[in-house]
Amino acid sequence: MNLGYFISKRISREQRDGFSSITHKIAIVSIAIGLSAAIVSFLIMEGFQQTIKNKIYSFSSHMIVTRFTMNNSMEEQPFFYNVDLFNNYKTKYSYIDHIQEYSHKAGLIKTDEEVLGIVFKGIGQSFKLDAFRQNMLEGEFLHLPDSGYAFEVVISKTIANKIKANVNDDIIVHFFQNPPRFRKLKVVGVYETNLSDYYDSRVIIGDLRLIQRLNDWADSVAGGLEVFVKDTKDIDLAYSTIGEDMDYDLYIEKVSDKYVQVFEWLELISRQVNILLGVILTVVCVNMISVVLILVMERTQMIGLLKAMGAADRLIRSVFMYNGINLIAKGLLYGNVVGLGLCYIQYQFRLIHLNPHDYYMNYVPISWDWSVVLLLNLLVFAIVTVVLLFPTAIVSRITPIKAIRFD
């Protein structure tokens, strides 16, 4: 058996009572609280970022292909979307999951009491409902017929409240063009993303063929293409590859660049959580240094006796290192139980609610990223273990004669 480990175990048994026992408990509690706080913070941050990104991606895809124009209008310049990218993406780009056509058209909804400006988003037969389904709140999605176009729309809860419309109600949408036109459409569903500044306050969803009919476009003309990738890690690769292969008159844009304010805000949250982790590690390290110094002072006579019998400084330091590592291990165990337990309760029962107008969601989300949990455990263990080398270095300065006489 390792002699340093053996002595450390004997010391631990003898220190179950007294002042050193209290300091040991404080060290374990500080590590447990620090790790649990870090786990909760990172899993909430991951859930928060993932929830908002998924909402944006489900509504606007990962990348958008439009016709190049200097115009900043909401309505895109039309183009024939049956290009090579749309027709052959499954065989040409293995990292692309889906591509669908769309177009926007400005208009307003007029009721007896309200006039509300809106943006009509037209979708085609290739629309990927699975990505958008998470946003549906009431009713059902559009039924796109094989011929003609659907006289149905899906509106947001915000718009529904403003115009006092419910599912199965009829609304009249006036479209801005010369001459102006209007259509009587049926509300078949209500969606909610809580992203009022970007979607809920202005966008309604309808049939792309209605826009084609209003604008006198051909059936194969749209305002743009929405590109979904299989893994968000491949967005940059898809962006550069597709950009090189596209025609010169087409323009590709990442949604993260289009809504750069939201994504920069999410990055700022990551920085704040990293700062919190740094503060936690600092407090834990200071506590562990104090505990080990107290332990060394209590065992000064033991250190003198071991040195008098020929024990090397390395052996004696290992005694206190093993003791400190034992405290760290216990703290990590309790910290994981508390942190993961709190996250599980919130994930299962959603006890903590949020104001959706401020946070874009109704409750605190949890994302089970086990790689982050493992990394936090390894980081805390590694850093605090390395820090233990500093207080144990005082062992080399203790002389046997003074240590034995120490009282």
Alpha carbon distance 222, 224 (integer Å): 6
Over its length of 407 residues, how does the chain's per-residue pLDDT go in tens digits? 577 777 777 777 666 565 667 888 888 999 999 999 999 999 999 999 999 999 999 999 999 999 988 776 677 899 999 999 999 999 999 999 999 999 999 999 988 788 899 999 999 999 999 989 999 999 999 999 988 999 999 999 999 999 999 999 999 999 988 888 999 999 999 999 999 889 999 999 999 999 999 999 999 999 999 999 999 999 999 999 999 998 888 999 999 999 999 999 999 999 999 999 999 999 999 988 888 888 888 777 887 888 888 888 888 888 889 888 999 999 999 999 999 999 999 999 999 999 988 888 999 999 999 999 999 999 999 999 999 888 888 887 778 777 676 55
CA dist 348 to 40, 225, 336, 364, Å?
14, 38, 17, 11
Alpha carbon distance 116, 137 (integer Å): 21
Strand pairing category for 224-229 and 96-110: antiparallel
Cβ atoms 365, 47 nearer than 8 A: yes
Strand pairing category for 136-139 and 181-191: antiparallel
The dihedral formed by the CA atoms of 237, 238, 243 and 244, expressed in degrees to the nearest 10: 60
Helices (H), 129-259: 129-132, 157-163, 208-215, 235-245, 255-258
Strand ranges, E, within 301-343: none
pLDDT of residue 297: 81
Tell me: the pLDDT tens digits for 193-232? Answer: 999 889 999 999 999 999 999 999 999 999 999 999 999 9
pLDDT of residue 406: 57
List b or e across 71-85, with b for residues whose CB sees 16 or more CB atoms inside 10 angstroms. Answer: eeeebbebbebebeb
Tell me: the pLDDT tens digits for 149-163? Answer: 999 999 999 999 999
CA angle 78, 81, 87 (to 5 degrees): 175
Paired tokens of 163: 């115009």
pTM for this predicted structure: 0.89
pLDDT of residue 139: 96
pLDDT of residue 97: 96
Paired tokens of 76: 């895109």
Q: What single letter denotes the amino acid at residue 321?
A: M
